[in-house]
Amino acid sequence: MRTRCKLFRKAALQAVLGMSLVLGGQSFCVEASSAAEQTISAAEQTVSAAEQAVSAAEQVISAAEAQAEEKLSDHVKGIRSFSVIEGMRPDVMSGVTWDETVKDVIADTTTVAFDTVGTYEMTYTIYGYQSDKEEKTITVNVYADLDHYLYGMEGEAKIPIGGDFDPMEHIVCEDQIASIEADTSALDTSRPGEYLISYIMTSTDGRKQTSVRLVTVTDGSEEEEIPTTEAYSTVTDLGLWRLTAYMDTPADQGPYVGQTASGAPLVAGRTVAVSSATCARLGLMFGDRLMIDGHVYVLEDHGGSAMYDQNWVDIFVDNPADEYSDQFNRYAEVYLLR
């Protein structure tokens, strides 16, 4: 019996010891698991911080790259190619603006001949604040002013009520104009008044330009001055001639300032010049009267080599404003009075 108790006690003790070992092992496992979780959490936080650092670095790099790729011209607006009519002087800085990144913008117009038809390149230089600069080149098209090559519209155009009006009479043009179309839809010949008619010109490159002309319809109450030719026995229509004007200056006269080929004095409103070759061809002589637009001039001078054997009359003027005016630079009918 005692032996049996000893054995029972030994077995119970072993059971108790076994349970203690089991419980102790479980505690160790729980502690180990908790430590591992903390380590993982710390690692995850480290990874997250690293990812944030990488993201921040990428943003810095991206901003740096964007700044490196950015140009001064990105901060300037209004620089663009344009077209202009010959003789005009456009404000090439009109509409050009920039922000605080740019110090100044300067246009070099010396490469464009605004008085000569053609296609040119013009450069804008954009200056920054760090001694940096950038150039931007545009194209400038200088077109022909077709009005300069259209003749026959000078002076008043008057017609009586009910009268006929040919808008193309005496209208001539140079080669820069391919075609001309007259629009007389605004003209009413049944009512006295002033009317504007249009001439639509098309250039050789297809560009269109419009010019206007004043036409007056009279009721006959105004007495119009009509040039008389009664003092002359013959009136010969010499046809359509080119008109220009000259002055008594070295630029026009060369070494012959103050002189005419005939020896007569230079008188504005009287003296005209025709080339000696044209005079020989048409039998014109000094002292001949030439009527242009009802005004009678006297042939007293010979023109320069540029006029050689052409139907071209040079009219002497004493006012610089007249020399290149439309009144004296056109085409007109010329009549010889004898």
Three-state SS for 157-179 is EEEECCCCCCCCCCCEECCCEEE
Compute φ and ψ for 182, nearest 5 degrees. -90, 135
Helix (H, G, I), strand (E, B) or coil at 120: strand
Render pLDDT for 108-118 as a digit per residue (tens, 0 to 9).
999 999 989 89
Residues 6+ apart with CB under 8 A from 65: none
For strand 289-292 and strand 76-77, is the pairing parallel, antiparallel, or unpaired? unpaired
Q: What is the pTM of this model?
A: 0.45
Complete domains list, the chain, with CATH: 72-143 (2.60.40.10), 146-218 (2.60.40.10), 235-337 (2.40.40.10)
* Angle of CA points 306, 309, 310, to nearest 5°: 75
Residue 13 has pLDDT above 60, yes or no: no
Render pLDDT for 203-262 as a digit per residue (tens, 0 to 9).
998 988 888 888 889 886 655 444 455 567 788 889 889 899 999 988 888 888 888 888
